[in-house]
Structure 1
Amino acid sequence: MGVDVQTEIKIERPVDVVARYAGDPTNAPEWYVNIQSVTWQTPPPLATGSRLEFVARFLGRRLAYTYEIVRLEPEALLVMRTAEGPFPMETTYTWAPLDDDRTLMTLRNRGVPSGFSSVAAPLMARAMRRANTQDLRRLKSLLESR
């Protein structure tokens, strides 16, 4: 059984501002509660094929994994997949303007955790939903206070 978690939030900032900040992996440790560091494995700027190493803590475990950017549409969509790591995952960000000054951002994580039974997947999904909700609230707070 896989995990598929989608959360969204309305942010009182223009879509270009939200997408530029949230779509820059270097900023992830500022707004993701579980992300401790991000290291570029390919030179910036972000493009399809870019690779980045993330170090995170989730459910009490340290996780190190490499994401590869598989799709990028500026100010609209960013899709990245783990290329290496213990939990095959795809993360998708979408940004949609609600009007000139407001953006709807969606964060979706899906994958099949290795070494977990189907019983653990619902627990993991709940923990991910809780963390993603906190992350998006933190992102909203950071961007709206600027």
Structure 2
Amino acid sequence: MVDVQTKIIIECPCDQVSAYAADPDNAPEWYVNIHSAEWQTPKPLAVGSRIAFKARFLGQQLAYVYQIVEYKPGRLLVMKTADVPFPMETTYTWESAGSCATRMTLRNRGNPAGFSIWFAPVMSFMMRRANEKDLKRLKKLLESQASK
């Protein structure tokens, strides 16, 4: 089992952070490893929406489709993929952390199967590192926009 949770405080209002982070079109801007996001269902984002992502992780090209399984704008986004060798669930949560700050949590959970089960500890470490970079990139991006 892989279960990685990372958090960050972003000095921007919760509605601004959540709206930006929940929009799949913005994912390539703040996720280091994601190269593209393509809607497979009509916009806007809702439970049942499907988005195809292309990414690179641990030197491998990945293509996967996330389906939105829970969405409470400004508070919670849960998406899952099951059509890959390593089924994954990604959860974003947002909560106010003061008058003009947001605590964002990014959590990835999954159960590797077969051969990849032996790499779960390494995958957890690498995911944590990537998630920390992604959240720092998101923070820098949003805080620099807010200061303009």
- 1:11 is aligned to 10
The 5 A counterparts of 1:43-122 are 43-122=42-121
How many residues are treated as equivalent by the alignment? 145
1:63 partner SS = strand
- 2:132 is aligned to 133
TM-score (ref. length: structure 2): 0.95
Cα deviation, residue 112, structure 1: 1.2
Cα distance in 2 for partners of 1:76, 1:103 equals 11
Is residue 65–residue 86 contact of structure 1 (8 Å, CA) maintained in 2? no
- 1:26 is aligned to 25
Deviates more, 1:75-84 or 1:89-98: 75-84
Cα deviation, residue 77, structure 1: 0.2
- 1:145 is aligned to 144
TM-score (ref. length: structure 1): 0.96
- 1:35 is aligned to 34
More helix by share: 2
Alpha carbons of structure 1 residues 117 and 51: separation in structure 2 relative to 1, 3 Å: closer
Q: Root-mean-square deviation (CA), in Å?
A: 1.0
Mark the runs of 5 or more structure 1 residues left unpaired by the alignment: none
Residue identity opposite 1:142 in structure 2: L
Alpha carbons of structure 1 residues 46 and 126: separation in structure 2 relative to 1, 3 Å: same
Cα distance in 1 for partners of 2:115, 2:20 equals 33
Cα deviation, residue 130, structure 1: 0.2
Cα distance in 2 for partners of 1:20, 1:103 equals 12
Cα distance in 2 for partners of 1:70, 1:77 equals 11
Cα deviation, residue 117, structure 1: 4.4
Percent of aligned pairs sharing the same letter: 64
Deviates more, 1:118-127 or 1:13-22: 118-127
Mark the runs of 5 or more structure 2 residues left unpaired by the alignment: none
Residue identity opposite 1:60 in structure 2: G
